[in-house]
């Protein structure tokens, strides 16, 4: 399945809305979208995950890359992550790097 | 990557038929995706064979067998991989997650070099409700 990425600057944060699977084939496009941002200047990056059905280690690497480039005080927020994907994030110890919320209203 | 979606779609379909759309199916798909990615990285251009078998004994489950005719490459699947989840994110290596996920997503896993092919077998048991 392909991955669609919509990138929008919002007041106080940047939003990437993803739709599709983030796997070995599609993760490079996510990495491209991330490298296209001024990560070092972002206070908050939100990634809309509600339409993402699958995330492999290639996608996790893209998230780690983004968090490592962002300021220490910045937040990387995943919105609407499925239980299966949240489980993989927890298993790999990345819950310390991201904030998981069910919806934007939780922020 | 020509047949990437077909390979992963096959695994997803077989898992969904065997177990339904559940965590077990997701984990099997994840493990196969990570192994296929590993094969493509280490043996670009190799032919890959993918088969799935339902089994009933000793417990019901699904076996996925992946073979490739690339160079002999033993990923040491029986060697436990650990991730230090307390390590600060800034110090975390970018790589090393794929085979860790393979090992932690299935019930049984083995590798063999047979007939000039790398053969990986992944077994997952029917979830007990």
Confidence of residue A107 (pLDDT cuts 50, 70, 90): confident
Predicted model pTM: 0.94
Query: Which regions of A1-107 does DSSP assign to beta strands (E)?
Result: 3-10, 13-22, 44-55, 75-79, 99-101
- Please give the ipTM for the structure prediction: 0.93
Backbone angles phi, psi at A14, to 5 degrees: -115, 140
Residue A94 pLDDT:
92
CATH value at residue B97: 3.30.565.10
Beta carbons of A56 and B33 less than 8 Å apart = yes
- N-term to C-term CA, chain B: 37
A25, A68, A88 member nearest B90 (Cβ): A68
Q: pLDDT tens digits, residue range A46-61? A: 999 999 999 999 999 9
Residues with Cβ < 8 Å from A11, sequence gap 6 or more? none
Band of residue B80 on the pLDDT scale cut at 50, 70, 90: confident
Domains of chain A: 9-106 (3.30.750.24)
Q: Does A93 touch chain B (CB under 8 A)?
A: yes
B34 pLDDT above the threshold of 80: yes
Q: How many independent structural domains does chain B possess?
A: 1
Q: How far apart are the first and last CA of chain A?
A: 30
- Going by C-alpha positions, the residue among B11, B61, B65, B55 that lies closest to residue B33 is B11
- CB neighbours of residue B81 within 10 Å: 16
- Between residues 34 and 73 of chain A, which touch chain B (CB distance below 8 Å)? 54, 56-58, 60-61, 64-65, 67-68, 72
Q: What residue numbers bound the domain in which B51 lies?
A: 4-125
CB-nearest to A84 from B26, B90, B104 is B26
């Amino acid at each position: 399945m392909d991955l669609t990425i919509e990138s929008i600057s919002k007041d106080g944060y940047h939003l990437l809305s993803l739709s599709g699977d983030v796997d070995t084939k599609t993760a490079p496009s996510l990495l491209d979208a991330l490298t296209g941002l001024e990560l070092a200047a972002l206070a908050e990056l939100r990634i809309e995950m509600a339409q993402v059905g699958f995330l492999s280690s290639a996608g996790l690497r893209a998230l780690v890359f983004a968090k490592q480039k962002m300021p220490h005080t910045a937040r990387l927020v995943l919105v609407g992550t499925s239980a299966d994907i949240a489980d993989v994030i927890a298993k790999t110890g990345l819950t310390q790097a991201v904030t998981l919320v069910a919806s934007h209203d939780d922020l | 990557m020509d047949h990437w979606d077909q390979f992963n779609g096959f695994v997803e379909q077989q898992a969904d038929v065997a177990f339904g759309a559940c965590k077990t199916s997701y984990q099997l798909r994840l493990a196969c995706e990570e192994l296929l990615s590993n094969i493509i990285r280490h043996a670009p251009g190799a032919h890959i064979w993918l088969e799935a078998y339902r089994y009933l004994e000793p417990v019901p489950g699904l076996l996925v067998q992946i073979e490739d005719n690339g160079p002999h490459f033993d990923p040491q699947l029986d060697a436990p991989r650990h991730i230090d989840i307390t390590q600060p994110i800034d110090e975390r290596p970018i790589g090393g997650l794929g085979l860790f996920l393979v090992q932690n997503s299935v019930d049984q896993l083995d590798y063999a070099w047979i007939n000039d092919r790398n053969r990986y077998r992944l077994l997952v048991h029917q979830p007990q409700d």
